[in-house]
Structure 1
Amino acid sequence: HPAPAGRAAMEANNSPNNSLWHSYLGVIVSRERQRMEHFQRAEDILLTLLETVHAREPRFLVDYARNLEALEFALCASEDAVTLEVPLRIDGDALRVLARRTGDTPAGHPSEPNTCYLEVCSPGTDLEDWTGAVDVMEHGAGVRCLIPGKILQHLKELLVSAIVRCRRLFLLQPGDISAENLREDAMELSLLIRGSWKTVRFDIVPVVRRQQEPLRLRGRQSDGVFPAGSLRMATQEAHFVPASPHCWRSSTHLPILKLLRAVDTLKGPRLDSLRLLDQLRDQDWGGEGGRGGLTFNHLKMVLLWSTELFPSREDWQDLEGSVYRLLVILLRCLATQHLPHFLNPEKNLFQGVALDLASLYHRVESFAWDPRRFLRFHFGLHPCSGSWQADPDTRALLQLPSRDGCYWDTAYFDLLLSQFQVYRIQDSARRSAMAQLLSKIRQQIPQQS
């Protein structure tokens, strides 16, 4: 896989004001090729295992298209696990999706909300293989459903057997792979694989794929912002992965990565902005012991929203301005404790997750007001100290109560950019919309003495 290009870092820096931003980004980009080499070596070992699994059990397929996972691994500053979906050789279109009703999950097996069953409606190509060798669950009135826990356990046994076989054939070197993280109650199979001197964690999940009507994001301008056809291509296939031993859930892991790849084809330092903020996330915004902080998935969602909410090329002309377009959206989400999923806006990605949002808000806001204190690499405790003075009007604007999704539009975020003095848009229509919004909400912001 070719290493993703750090466009802004590779371009000549003609603006003295951006030199610090580009220097910080340059160090981040310089490490990507080495990270890619680690990923590729670990990937080769994993593919060897999966090929052994497939040879013994052809119902588990090997998907060699790992470019999206490689891109994500290269962009991410921390050693987050790589999610890898193993497709089942099954006609997903011959299955029927049944929404899970409250209380119909077998006792002792709690399930997530918004989960479902996959019903085997009638005999069809490849379905007999699964219903014969892997037990199905009777779900009332003779309805038979695939049991993800059984499939997951079968894949686990095959992976362990493949590790033993590959070691006997000397296809693996001592220390190449560890299965010590395989937990009985986990809905993914976690393997630690050595890539050169770096260990990469792969979370392996079986996936059922079926065609679906591509998403149409009504009332939004995504179709006109992203490259033509990219939203359709990213969402035309539904992916179902285990949510509990008996239920499945829809996964947007690969669709989101496909949209991230599409964003990379647009002009401007969009992915460079993600790189930079993710380094700050890993270095300065983490919780105690690395827990309770933002994740790379949160920042991916912020980037997709910023791509939609800031549609003009003017928005993405320089690195500093591009970073602030992500920052104002992130600050708004932290202030309201609500980060909507890009493909499912009704889902709040902050809900049900142990995050200290108040502390995160303070850290991100302190960077937004004084980035020079943070655009440096350090080890151990953060060396920056001293006070910083936030603008009370901006904080009040960020924390303005949101009703029915109001203040989730370009005019609102343009107003935030102007507060941070990084608004350089010349579009008269956008300036007018920002001024009109300001006049409407001025009365909601307490007057400061």
Structure 2
Amino acid sequence: PPGSVLPQPAAMEASPSLWHSYLGVILSRERQRMEHFQRAEDILLTLLESVHARDPRFLVDYARNLEAFEFSVCASEDAVTLEVPLRIDGDTLRVLARRSSPEHPAELSTCCLELCSPRAGLEDWTGAVDGMEHCLLPGKILQHLKELLVSAIVRCQRLFLLQPGDISAENLREDALELSLLIRGSWKPVRFNIVPVVRRQQEPLQLRGRRSGRGFPAGSLSRATEEAHFVPASPLGWSDPAPGMAPGTAFLGSGLVPDPVLLSPSPQMVLLWSTELFPSPEDWQDLEGSVYRLLVILLRCLATRHLPHFLNPEENLFQGAAPDLASLYHKVESFAWDPQRFLRFHFGLHGFSGSCQADRETRALLQLPTRDGSCWDTAYFDILLSQFQVFRIQDSARRSAASQLLARIRQEIPQQS
């Protein structure tokens, strides 16, 4: 687009080979890390088998999605979440929404899972919530699972199924909605966060209009949304964070923004919107450009304090968020303009001036109010990519659309002195 600075040809030729080298190092390290995690997972599964033997209501998920697990391992810097399914027919439960308490208005809404009729074998997990007598209480389930885990550790060690030092349960004393275990791997302890989950079948999501599943393999969106996973949100309530969707925090793995605002489901939504807004294979040919496609979406959402839910665009996931979104915006912006300050490995990034100060036009573009939907489409984000010198799209139609939109937008941006 006119007025934007595109990378010089020499930089475009050199950059792919440098990023391929960078990617090769990552893949080499991740193969070793995967083997390390799998050894630690074997120890954890041995422990959970003992828990299941004591209480068959806690299941061991041997059929977990291997691809999702590997993605979680690669994306997680601190801990890996492992779901423990409950032997409960989720289809017999009534899901009733409940609002956050007045004491915690910023919390996400939760729901109650009520048994349609009292059932033998679940009495010790149920209680009264909001006037309903037979609701599953996450607090009771977590407490029971915690006691079983401690007992299972002792039993497995006595039977020499586990060696001394294989598992540390000291964090189980903490009152949390996930049970944290530190497990010895080959060279570094691995932290697993164990979460009980209730699975329930639901009607597969049917996207209408522009979001018709573009960017997803055929049938994958239906498979990913046909099962809801309810996890503890409080001692009394459950939540279903983006059903069936794997966490998408890989692009934050540099330690750039370890902020609670970007905990699930926000990174997932950024990844999902990227499949809608950048549909061409040309958009994802190199690592640098792929990261920036996520960054410009995140920057736009932080600048406007508005992140629409991919499945329900009328819902703003930043509604009621902590007031530090502005501080988080500046952190992400600093990374976008000078990534070398944040990356752990450097392979000669090209196309950057080295300045971490954004120019005025870019900031004005990011903060431009949305009026007719023109600031939430491919052409708008192509303009932002060109501002960061990572556009590199040869499609003449997309270049023309971005150029025309930029001309209209510049008429709305106040002239800077």
TM-score between both structures, scaled by the size of structure 2: 0.83
Measure the CA separation in 2 of the matches of 1:109 and 1:409: 35
Measure the CA separation in 1 of the matches of 2:104 and 2:265: 27
User: Per-residue CA shift, 1:26-48, capped at 9, x if unaligned?
Assistant: 32222101211221111111101
Partner of 2:125: 134
1:128 is paired with a residue whose SS is coil
1:325 partner amino acid: R
Question: Judging changes above 3 Å, is the alpha-carbon distance between structure 1 residues 244 and 403 closer, same or farther for their aligned structure 2 residues?
Answer: farther
1:150 partner amino acid: K
Measure the CA separation in 1 of the matches of 2:412 and 2:345: 40
Contact preservation (8 Å) 2:100, 2:110: no
Contact preservation (8 Å) 1:35, 1:73: no
Question: Judging changes above 3 Å, is the alpha-carbon distance between structure 1 residues 439 and 102 closer, same or farther for their aligned structure 2 residues?
Answer: same
Question: Quick check: 1:202 aligned with 2:192?
Answer: yes
Partner of 1:9: none
User: Per-residue CA shift, 1:164-217, capped at 9, x if unaligned?
Assistant: 111111111111111111245311111111112211111111111111111223
Which region of structure 1 is more displaced relative to structure 2, 361-370 or 46-55?
361-370
Question: Judging changes above 3 Å, is the alpha-carbon distance between structure 1 residues 109 and 293 closer, same or farther for their aligned structure 2 residues?
Answer: closer
State how 1:179-258 maps to structure 2 within 5 Å.
Answer: 179-183=169-173, 185-252=175-242, 255-257=244-246
Question: Quick check: 1:56 aligned with 2:54?
Answer: yes
State how 1:101-112 maps to structure 2 within 5 Å.
Answer: 101=99, 112=107
1:330 is paired with a residue whose SS is helix
Partner of 1:34: 32
Contact preservation (8 Å) 1:111, 1:247: no
Question: Judging changes above 3 Å, is the alpha-carbon distance between structure 1 residues 117 and 364 closer, same or farther for their aligned structure 2 residues?
Answer: closer
Q: Select the residue among 256, 271, 275 that pairs with 1:307.
A: 275
Question: Quick check: 1:155 aligned with 2:153?
Answer: no
1:38 partner amino acid: H
1:118 is paired with a residue whose SS is strand
Partner of 1:116: 111
Shift of 1:402: 3.4
Q: Select the residue among 20, 26, 38 that pairs with 1:22.
A: 20
Which region of structure 1 is more displaced relative to structure 2, 161-170 or 142-151?
142-151
Shift of 1:113: 3.8
Shift of 1:443: 2.2
Contact preservation (8 Å) 1:190, 1:201: yes
2:26 partner amino acid: I
Question: Judging changes above 3 Å, is the alpha-carbon distance between structure 1 residues 111 and 63 closer, same or farther for their aligned structure 2 residues?
Answer: farther
1:407 partner amino acid: C
User: Per-residue CA shift, 1:237-278, capped at 9, x if unaligned?
Assistant: 1111121222111133x62229x7xxxxxxxxxxxxx85x44
State how 1:243-322 maps to structure 2 within 5 Å.
Answer: 243-252=233-242, 255-257=244-246, 277-279=251-253, 281-282=254-255, 285-286=256-257, 298-322=266-290
Contact preservation (8 Å) 2:282, 2:393: yes
Measure the CA separation in 2 of the matches of 1:245 and 1:295: 20
Which region of structure 1 is more displaced relative to structure 2, 403-412 or 203-212?
403-412
Measure the CA separation in 1 of the matches of 2:323 and 2:20: 30
Measure the CA separation in 1 of the matches of 2:327 and 2:296: 16
Partner of 1:271: none
Shift of 1:94: 0.8
Question: Judging changes above 3 Å, is the alpha-carbon distance between structure 1 residues 406 and 246 closer, same or farther for their aligned structure 2 residues?
Answer: farther
1:58 partner amino acid: P
Shift of 1:342: 3.5
Question: Judging changes above 3 Å, is the alpha-carbon distance between structure 1 residues 442 and 318 closer, same or farther for their aligned structure 2 residues?
Answer: same
Question: Judging changes above 3 Å, is the alpha-carbon distance between structure 1 residues 374 and 116 closer, same or farther for their aligned structure 2 residues?
Answer: closer
Q: Which runs of 5+ in 2 are unaligned?
A: 1-11, 347-352
Partner of 1:4: none
Question: Judging changes above 3 Å, is the alpha-carbon distance between structure 1 residues 404 and 351 closer, same or farther for their aligned structure 2 residues?
Answer: farther
Measure the CA separation in 2 of the matches of 1:302 and 1:445: 26
Measure the CA separation in 1 of the matches of 2:262 and 2:93: 36
Measure the CA separation in 2 of the matches of 1:149 and 1:389: 47
State the number of aligned residues: 400
1:82 is paired with a residue whose SS is strand
Which region of structure 1 is more displaced relative to structure 2, 175-184 or 351-360?
351-360
Contact preservation (8 Å) 1:98, 1:119: yes
2:386 partner amino acid: S
Contact preservation (8 Å) 1:37, 1:195: no
Shift of 1:331: 2.1
TM-score between both structures, scaled by the size of structure 1: 0.78
Question: Quick check: 1:166 aligned with 2:156?
Answer: yes
1:181 is paired with a residue whose SS is helix
Q: Which runs of 5+ in 1 are unaligned?
A: 1-13, 261-273, 379-384
The RMSD of aligned alpha carbons is 3.4
Which region of structure 1 is more displaced relative to structure 2, 202-211 or 299-308?
299-308
Contact preservation (8 Å) 1:222, 1:308: no
Contact preservation (8 Å) 1:234, 1:256: yes
Shift of 1:366: 3.9
Q: How many percent identity over aligned positions? A: 72
Question: Quick check: 1:413 aligned with 2:381?
Answer: yes
Question: Judging changes above 3 Å, is the alpha-carbon distance between structure 1 residues 31 and 298 closer, same or farther for their aligned structure 2 residues?
Answer: farther
1:136 is paired with a residue whose SS is strand
